[in-house]
Amino acid sequence: MAEVVGTIEPQTAAAEVAQTTDGFHIVIDALKANDIDTIFGLVGIPITDLARLAQAEGMRFIGFRHEQHAGNAAAIAGYMTKKPGICLTVSAPGFLNGLTALANATTNCFPMILISGSSEREIVDLQQGDYEEMDQLNAAKPYAKAAYRVLHAEDIGIGVARAIRAAVSGRPGGVYLDLPAKLLAQTMDAVKGKNSLIRVIDAAPRQLPAPESVQRALDLLKGAKRPLILLGKGAAYAQADAEIRAFVEKTGIPYLPMSMAKGLLPDTHEQSASAARSFVLAEADVVVLIGARLNWLLSHGKGKTWGKPKQFVQIDISPTEIDSNVAIAAPVIGDIGSCVSALVAGLDASFPKPSIEWTGAITERKSTNLAKMAATLAKNPSPMNFHSALRAIRDVLKTRPDINVVNEGANTLDYARSIIDMYEPRKRFDSGTWGIMGIGMGFAIGAAVTSGKPVVAIEGDSAFGFSGMELETICRYDLPVCTIVFNNNGVYRGTDVNPTGGKDVAPTVFVKNARYDKMIEAFGGIGHNATTPEELTKALLEAIASGKPTLINAVIDEAAGTESGRLTNLNPQSAAMKK
């Protein structure tokens, strides 16, 4: 008898193993069932095996050196694709590191899901002191569009489906998904596990605008004397490129792109009013906001920037965005593709073209401002300043409109935004709604992995420092990322002095003449030191041709630029101190 059992038992065990699955497998299966093929993350207890399994099951796992950058990579992948980017972290500190990126994603309306392992509820809730103990779900809630926890393996499919829907439907945002360690190890019947998976149908359904709202907007626009269209990154996100182009070109209305909407129509488009920005904002009488909020980036829709009284049409998927800063005369609520198509359909023969007085005045301003800018850009000071370095980069990027551009810093951001033209949609990724520093390498990695195309990251030296260690990640995955550090020896500039004459340098000052190019060489990447526009051009061309991880240390005059870039008005204390 014992012998018989002995021969049967191993077979029974094998059969049982074959028929059970566990939390680890169901998480991966649930993501794959929704065509999610990449995870950005950083391993450790309790999610190391989840990352291993993801790779073994054919997903791409991109491992980072800090969770914030993995989160930023996931967020930008979400923005580029309209599918939620996934970031995977360990509990408590790893989760908190990722939370900054989740909050930034929510603020910018980027769809991402932060999945963090967590310690056991019983211990967390009694505060008994677990390894990396934290009530992560509650910590995430104020900064996420939605936050969920799964306690039973059979609910993983539901949890992932809810997270995907929450991230991409309506106004996109960051979603937190809490997976306690015990859940991952839970086993269940493999068939039941498979049946518990959900493939989300129509995760971001179209939302059609009310016909009367479309008519109201068209009526307002018809009466406009000086109409203007403002494209925000919501318009770029919507991937309604053809509809937006049709609306702009059929109406003939001049438009302004917000920084991440640059390239939705090529910046060289004749209707672009970018080079006359202050003029059109002040003078316009009816402004059509398409996926752009009237937040600080647009002076809250009021004050000197906006000059003459105006009325707004606002196209947005979020009804509560309307009237958030100023009264909106014609809200059009729905997804941008549907709203803009409806507007285009309503453009009949009676729709007037903007007057020649208006377009002519804009053209005149543009040419004056462009001539001024050309004269500034033509100068060749030594050391380089922001303009001469950006001229060199602009001329190279002009020949490669497919290249992704990442941009952060203060002066480096402000000048690059206006000097570097974009020609294709969703190719420019920057500090966004918060004006956050630290998105650089995370966005660069996310953009390179997602698009398979080169990335040029134009970085202030301070801005770069926040994510600089991810150069190792870039080298490890051999990504075609060229990072250009605008090195002017400090935050904003490098010229401040300690007024006490003490040994410590001023709060804004870094090590002088640092060689950031040496950092990438430590990981096998290619470093260049560029002190002239010619050297910068040569290094950038080489980087793009080789597709190799490269860092160019661009030596910029430490006295160039202004404190806080163009945000000097938000920094009144500093202005007062200098008086």
Q: Which residues bind ligand TZD (CB under 6 A)?
A: 409-412, 435-438, 460-463, 486, 488, 491-492, 561, 565
Residue 196 vs 488, nearer CB to ligand TZD: 488
Binders of ligand ADP in range 278-317 (CB under 6 A): 291-293, 295, 297, 316-317
d(CA 410, CA 567): 8
Q: How far is CA 31 from CA 37, 54, 115, 510, 541, in A?
A: 8, 10, 11, 44, 39
Q: 394: closest CA among 268, 273, 255, 271? A: 268
Q: What's at 474, amino acid-wise?
A: I
x/- mask, ligand ADP, residues 412-451, rule CB under 6 A, reads ---------------------x------------------
Residue nearest ligand TZD by beta-carbon distance: 460
Span near ligand ADP by CB under 6 A; candidates 18-26, 258-266, 356-364, 467-475: 258-266
Supply the minimum distance, in Å, between the C-beta of residue 439 and ligand TZD. 9
Q: Three-state SS string across 80-105, please?
A: HHCCCEEEEECCHHHHHHHHHHHHHH
**Binding residue for ligand ADP (CB under 6 A) from 98, 157, 234, 354?**
234
Position closest to ligand ADP via CB: 234
How many CA within 13 A on the CB side of residue 433? 19
Per-residue contact flags (x/-) with ligand ADP for residues 319 to 348, judged by CB under 6 A: --x-------------xx------------
How crowded is residue 490: how many other Cβ atoms within 10 Å of its Cβ? 22
Q: Is 109 helix (H, G, I), strand (E, B) or coil?
A: coil
Q: Letter for the amino acid at 86?
A: I
Measured from the CB of residue 574, what is the shortest distance to ligand ADP in angstroms? Answer: 25
> Whats the size of the chain, residue-wise?
579
What sections of 346-434 are H helices per DSSP? 356-378, 386-397, 411-419
Question: Of the two residues 433 and 462, which places its CB atom closer to ligand TZD in the complex?
Answer: 462
Map the footprint of ligand ADP across residues 56-115, applying CB under 6 A.
108-109
Q: Residues in contact with ligand ADP, total (CB under 6 A)?
A: 24
* CA separation for the pair 544, 421 (Å, rounded): 18
Q: Minimum CB separation from ligand TZD for residue 529, in Å?
A: 17
C-beta of residue 402 within 8 angstroms of C-beta of residue 453: yes
Which residues in 125-154 contact ligand ADP (CB under 6 A)? none
Binding partner at 99 among ligand ADP, ligand TZD, none, C-beta below 5 to 8 Å by kind: none
Per-residue CA distances from 449 to 68, 303, 444, 483, 542 (Å):
17, 42, 9, 15, 21
Three-class HEC string of 477-541: CCCCEEEEEEECCECCCCCCCCCCCCCCCCCCECCCCCCHHHHHHCCCCEEEEECCHHHHHHHHH
Q: Which residue carries 């950006």 as its tokens?
A: 390
Min separation Cβ 52 and ligand TZD, Å = 32
State yes or no: residue 166 binds ligand ADP (CB under 6 A): no
CB of 112 to ligand ADP, least distance (A): 14
**By CB under 6 A, is residue 261 in contact with ligand ADP?**
yes
Nearest distance in Å: CB 521, ligand TZD: 22
Q: Is 385 exposed, middle or buried (0-12, 13-18, 19+ CB in 10 A)?
A: buried
- The minimum distance between CB 291 and ligand ADP, in angstroms, equals 3
Q: Is 318 near ligand ADP (CB under 6 A)?
A: yes
Least distance to ligand ADP from the beta carbon of 273, Å?
15
Q: Residue 412 binds what, of ligand ADP, ligand TZD, none (CB under 5 to 8 Å, by partner type)?
A: ligand TZD
Nearest to 362 by CA among 281, 279, 306: 279
Residues forming contacts to ligand ADP in the complex (CB under 6 A) are 108-109, 171-172, 232-234, 237-238, 258, 260-261, 291-293, 295, 297, 316-318, 321, 335-336, 433
